[in-house]
Chain A
């Protein structure tokens, strides 16, 4: 059976990164935008783990970085969801198009 190599994982993580970026710009629902950001962060996690395993296996820097990214992403999502709930209270919707008061 063929083992997945570094390039396979890098392909997946880069694809995830750009899917996340696409979703961030295209989606109109705030929760979905937040999910796109999580996709970006998870692609970074994959990158770190793959580099750690295939290129620099003697130290655990990449794994530790990944753990911290997961924790920070949770904290960021908590604050973001609190803000989205407040946006729902003021605008009665979580669509980004309703938040349109601040423009040039």
Chain B
């Protein structure tokens, strides 16, 4: 009984927070600022509690398993959600249904936590749905806005379609092997045609969730239409959680078929980087721009995934940590600007440096980190990803990925040029930043600078994986 509470601690913590929020909601009206403070404190406690009592073990006959790496991955996701609760304080203050938004967000986080721990395709499917259905409701949170409902419609239809494809793949695996347990599956897989077909279906479903080309079409629309807090959750936390589980499914369950999936992943990675970069070049809206940049980043993550080694796991976990910090910083600046002025176009940022130098520096740090400029953390993240991918000795592929980094530099620098160098007589006015947003931006910037310098972070992840 004790084991149950210790092993399932992250999920139980989130469930308790969900119930507390539900009781607060039911017990009557409460001011938004007090409620937000309560939520931030609860999420901070949740994040801090993730550091203690992490052991490995199995529950429910192998349906749920956990170890120290999984606990660390959950800790990263909790940290991201805590940052989101700080970053978008302006938006949270003005929304009418604050507690409902957090109920949805925490249910989705709960789904992701179960997803990372799942040891069985049934558990996997249930937690994947728990993670994605609330996301669609979150994208519809600006109820009166036309683009918000359009984004939610695209989100729910594409996620339902992808879960249909995923289930078809699982049913083929079940037919071919007779089991859906992650521990029993590898011994049964021999790479016959039916199993390859099933693998393709499963990878397709993951590609939908991770918005890998050619299944990325919903991404930019959903990012633009959703409220910015939902967009940032979708782009960092949900992508991060699915990427973690993608690695563990490919490396553990489909290990006997790694020659097959290596070719698929390489092909997907190449087209994802090309399409993500080319479309990001011509975007004018900052949210669409970040959407396509995140598609290109997913291409890079696939380079690390293709490594099929312990270094593959550790480099992807490390990169996701950095990606959360840098992308959240970029989204935080964009949200601070859009909530005060309503401007979301990159052209509106012209000469922003004259009025808001600090915001511009934070944005520049985030974008430089995403582009992979040393000495910021993003450079080390990409270096380790390429290093992990190079373990297959397929150097043409690695060279191609490195060349794509240069292309991506062009569009990141375009935003920075527009903020720092372009002439503009009347730039946007001085923007008042909410104190908690300021605090979160400081955490993000410090993380972007320090996560690359402090080598023990990567060493720690590598020792776990």
Contact = CB atoms under 8 A, between A and B. Distances in A.
A90 interface: yes
Nearest to A83: B152
B143 A37 contact: no
A37 B161 contact: yes
Contact of B151 (A61, A102, A104): A102
Nearest to B221: A102
**Chain B interface size range:** 35 or more
Contact of A44 (B143, B149, B154, B168): B168
Contacts of A43: 168
Contacts of B163: 72, 76
B167 A69 contact: yes
A20 B43 CA distance: 42
Chain A CB within 10 Å, residue with most, of B163, B171, B221: B171
Contacts of B153: 30, 83-84, 87, 96, 99
B167 A41 contact: yes
Given A41-B164, A51-B171, A72 B147 contact: no
A76 B135 CA distance: 12
A47 B152 contact: no
B98 interface: no
B425 interface: no
Interface string B152-175: 111011001101110110111011
A83 B156 contact: yes
A64 interface: yes
A80 B129 CA distance: 13
B149 to A, nearest CB: 5
Interface in B16-30: none
Dominant secondary structure at the A interface: helix
A80 B122 contact: no
Contact of A79 (B126, B156, B170, B220): B156
A56 interface: yes
Nearest to B135: A79
B348 interface: no
B61 interface: no
A55 B178 contact: yes
Given A44-B167, A83-B149, A102-B150, A65 B180 contact: yes
A68 B125 contact: yes
A91 B146 contact: yes
Contacts, number: 123
A86 B143 contact: yes
B275 to A, nearest CB: 12
Nearest to A84: B153
Given A65-B122, A79-B136, A37 B160 contact: yes
A75 interface: yes
A64 B171 CA distance: 12
A86 B156 CA distance: 13
A8 to B, nearest CB: 15
A66 to B, nearest CB: 9
A86 B149 contact: yes
A40 B160 CA distance: 10
B304 to A, nearest CB: 29
Contacts of B125: 65, 68-69, 72
B174 A48 contact: yes
Interface in B220-266: 220-221, 224-225
Contact of A102 (B129, B147, B157): B147
B164 A44 contact: yes
Interface string B133-152: 10011001001111101111
Contacts of A76: 129, 133, 156, 160, 163
Contacts of B154: 99, 102
Given A43-B168, A47-B172, A102 B156 contact: no
Contact of A37 (B151, B164, B179, B225): B164
Chain B CB within 10 Å, residue with most, of A20, A30, A41, A99: A99
Contacts of A48: 171, 174
Interface in A31-68: 33-34, 37, 40-41, 43-44, 47-48, 51, 55-56, 59, 61-62, 64-65, 68
Nearest to A75: B133
Interface of A: 17, 20, 24, 30, 33-34, 37, 40-41, 43-44, 47-48, 51, 55-56, 59, 61-62, 64-65, 68-69, 72, 75-76, 79-80, 82-84, 86-87, 89-91, 96, 99, 101-104
29 contacts: A17-B168, A20-B164, A30-B153, A30-B157, A34-B157, A37-B160, A40-B161, A43-B168, A47-B168, A48-B174, A55-B175, A55-B178, A56-B174, A62-B171, A62-B174, A65-B171, A65-B174, A80-B136, A80-B160, A83-B136, A87-B152, A87-B153, A90-B145, A101-B150, A102-B147, A102-B154, A102-B220, A102-B224, A102-B225
